[in-house]
A = this chain, B = another copy of it.
């Protein structure tokens, strides 16, 4: 009997007879046949070393380097300012939001790197740079958003601590060999961490890119890789019918190609997982939004991710999901056991509008909220599924991230697109260089 997986996937409301749109239980065998082929192909690419992120759970050497450096930086400084954008920003945010222990670890601040002068000024006004380390994260080092912010913060840092001492404050996470930031780091003598050459930004949360800020924040990062490893092991061992990430991809694919659900909603019922949604948004949007398939045919593929949050967004988005167009596939994330619980007091036993909730644990309320919403959606013909993790821990957060990374890779195979490039980002970048007058660029 197979071990119960760390993440269980309840997709019973995908096939509910009353859902009436898109899916049918009869389509399952054909879907599983396709997923079996996808699984074989991904295992082949993994063995050939052609999909870099599959090696993440084995990155023992990088893990020790991250842990050692983070321990040193934690002793020397109080605040870590992370300067990165997109994949160099969203992964660490998601991990730290979910797992930062209160009262331990560094205070980690994200500059977000959106080149907003007000935001940078606010950061400078609220951080003592003498006690702060800067973690600049950029593979190439000539991306304007993080590098402009870094050059400014570096300048202010030097004004506070001097040119000679400032180098101790900077940790550059960048390409191991080449690029502008590597060159600057060598000139200045900064400590560095390598960005894995074969893992793209949006798949790099569980590499040096995301693990170093997380370790500085006090997150036991080893557990993240252990959780990812469990998901990988299961993916390798189980057939497609027993693989959560493959079935997740398969159901989204089948709904998408039928022309129905091309909006993918991820809705965790836990504040701690709020920023996981923002990380997933990039992974799903940038990997799957592609004009061309792998043979150069114009396809304009793409699934539009939406990060929602339960129970909050029941009072913001659920009206639309229940009554609007049949274009969404909603996935809830349920947390089995919270890291603490509280009960509603009963001060007004005679006021029914308050008494009905008296004595309930909050965990029971939030679970009921999810269950009720899932049921309402299904009754309105809206397919939805639920991923359940036993708790919020490094192991489950690492597992969730790796689950979505495998699911995204599988979707790339199903759609026959390159899930690992981003040609559509380059055009805007070139326009911007032209507008700013960088040599060699024209509108």
Contact = CB atoms under 8 A, between A and B. Distances in A.
A347 B154 contact: yes
Given A86-B312, A89-B312, A116-B362, 7 more contacts: A115-B362, A117-B362, A151-B357, A187-B348, A281-B317, A282-B315, A380-B427
Contact of A428 (B113, B318, B432): B318
A356 B438 contact: yes
Contacts of A321: 289, 424
A148 B285 contact: no
A380 B425 CA distance: 12
12 contacts: A116-B272, A117-B341, A145-B311, A147-B353, A151-B344, A152-B342, A180-B353, A184-B348, A291-B322, A302-B324, A323-B423, A372-B435
A130 interface: no
A304 B324 contact: yes
Given A263-B263, A327-B304, A114 B271 contact: yes
Number of copies: 2
B425 A325 contact: no
B113 A290 contact: no
Interface string A84-119: 011101100000000000100000000011111111
B120 A342 contact: yes
A342 B428 contact: no
Given A325-B302, A423-B323, A432 B372 contact: yes
Given A353-B141, A364-B436, A425-B318, A323 B289 contact: yes
A306 interface: yes
A319 interface: yes
